Amino acid sequence: MIPSIEWTDDNKVKMIDQTLLPHELKFLIFEDYRDVAVSIKVMNIRGAPAIGVAAAMGMALATIEYKFLPIEKFLKSMDEAAHLIKSTRPTASNLFWAVDRMWKIIASTNEMPPVISELVVEEAKIMAQEDINVNKSIGKNGADLLEDGDTVLTHCNAGSLATVQYGTALAPIRTAIEQGKDIRVIADETRPRLQGAQLTAYECHYDKIPVKVISDTSSGLMMMLGKIDKVIVGTDRVTSDAVFNKIGTYLVALAAKDNKIPFYVAAPSSTLSLNETIGDVTIEQRDSREVSDVLGKVQIVPDGVECLNYAFDITPFRLLTGIITEHGVFTQEELIKKYKEY
């Protein structure tokens, strides 16, 4: 896949408009950080790592806009930009991690704003490249868990489109295929935003990875029938006691446990938030029309009936076989020990 987001040579942010996929591959180009913030909110770009990089690039655009202000005004304006970007979506750790990483650069130098801006732009570009490297390491670590002939179920889209490139949950699959293994993907549709049907299916098809789409409610039966060998999903945040990921992940994990099917979570360390527990996390609730109206077009619920739209759910560690990071594959205890200081 082509990168989902890039910093251009003329200092703009270029991203795939994921709301138009799979029908149209169109790019958006932004030079105002406010537009980047909107693009995160309305999900032109989505997926925790991609959101993180978009947030970093948004901060970089803000430094360019404000670089000729006196330092106090620059800092105040950057603080406002950071708040705006952080307010776009509440659940993915990467958003906050990325803005804080940019803020650290701003706070730890005595340079004047034009130089700070250069440093922040450079850091945003580094972050984008790091994301690809991290995903490839997740791919290597996770590919060892896959056997020739495996069919892997994934939920939502934690592929190239959810990152800068290569993906997290799809990385082990990509690497295993590169190693010559015969691997097939089952993507569940992932109501209500249909990231599985629209995005995972799109990128697998684009990259010639064998993929079939099922309705969300089919995965339990498919497991019972022996048609799924492993499950790999991504995550938006890993706390010390659970994994937060796209709504529906918990039910897939329960079905996997009941059917003794390995269930792995692919998580770059930028998604780890191990000093937090479940109660610290805000689960995003999106517009109820995403549930009541299919793709914003056809209303499927009677007028006057309320819909609830939780965007993420919570999967306890006891349902997980392991977490795949760029550093290895871990149990809950191993993960906490390894990343205690992170």
CB of 63 or CB of 200, closer to ligand MRU = 200
Q: Which stretch binds ligand MRU (CB under 6 A): 45-53, 59-67, 75-83, 214-222?
A: 45-53
DSSP-assigned letters across all residues of 64-118:
HHHTTS-HHHHHHHHHHHHHHHHTS-SS-HHHHHHHHHHHHHHHT----HHHHHH
Give the closest residue to 246 by CA, choosing from 284, 276, 300: 284
236 is known as an active-site residue: yes
Q: CA-based angle 90:47:197, to the nearest 5?
A: 125
**Options 5, 7, 19, 49; binder of ligand MRU; rule CB under 6 A:** 49
Pairing state of beta strands 293-294 and 27-30?
unpaired
Query: CB of 325: closest distance to ligand MRU in angstroms?
Result: 12
Query: CB of 291: closest distance to ligand MRU in angstroms?
Result: 14
Dihedral sign computed on CA atoms, order 282, 256, 184, 264: positive
Task: For residue 65, give both structure tokens.
Answer: 């806009």
**Options 46, 101, 174, 230; binder of ligand MRU; rule CB under 6 A:** 46
Query: CB of 154: closest distance to ligand MRU in angstroms?
Result: 9
CB atoms within 10 A of CB 114: 12
204 is a site residue for ligand MRU (CB under 6 A): no
Q: Which stretch binds ligand MRU (CB under 6 A): 76-84, 138-146, 233-241, 292-300?
A: 233-241
> What Cα–Cα distance (Å) separates residue 293 from each residue in 82, 299, 300, 303?
33, 4, 6, 11
Binding mask 158-177 for ligand MRU (x = CB under 6 A): x---xx----x---------
* Cα–Cα distance measured from residue 264 to residue 224, given in angstroms and rounded to the nearest whole number: 18
Binding mask 104-143 for ligand MRU (x = CB under 6 A): ----------------------------------------
47 is a site residue for ligand MRU (CB under 6 A): yes
Residues marked active site are found at 236
- Contact residues for ligand MRU, defined by CB under 6 A: 46-49, 92, 156, 158, 162-163, 168, 195, 234-236, 245-246, 311
